[in-house]
Amino acid sequence: MEKRYTALRVIGTMYKVLGVIVAILTILAVLGVIGSSIMGRVFLDRFPREFVAPRPGMWHFFGGIFGGLITAFFMLLYGGGLAVTLYAFGEAVYLVIAIEENTRATVTLLREQRRPAPSPSPPPEPDK
């Protein structure tokens, strides 16, 4: 059977590739946040005081390694969910194409079965 729906196959592949790219970028971002929270504690400590709340309190608690781990966890959840969703959407496009191909093949087989069988040659007439 010929391959049909080339544009849909390209779109499905693009979504799958985007899903993989988002997964890789998410992992790199999570590693970057964890690394910066470990090495750059001073920046993360000062950021809430300068931009969010001038007084110490709960924001100081999120400024260190713990805050970086929490941020990395939520980044992993969001980015991982987005990556899985994109990849699944690409697979769904391929699934719809496969369903159509199987339906077309089934219709072809059923039509072949419906054709009347060639009638056998008539029986020879008895001699008179």
107 within a domain of the structure (yes/no): yes
Total domains in the chain come to 1
Q: Is 84 contained in some domain?
A: yes
- As a whole number of angstroms, the distance between CA 24 and CA 11 comes to 20
Is the Cβ–Cβ distance between 16 and 116 less than 8 Å?
no
Res 72: pLDDT: 92
Looking at residue 126, its pLDDT comes to 79
- Kindly tell me the burial class for residue 88, based on how many C-beta atoms sit within 10 Å of its own C-beta (0-12, 13-18, 19 or more): middle
Segments forming the whole domain that contains residue 72 = 6-112
d(CA 94, CA 36): 40
Tens-binned pLDDT, residue by residue, of the chain (128 aa): 678 899 999 999 999 999 999 999 999 999 998 888 877 665 655 665 666 555 555 555 556 678 788 889 999 999 999 999 999 999 999 999 999 999 999 999 999 888 776 677 777 777 76
Q: What pLDDT is stored for residue 2 in this prediction?
A: 75
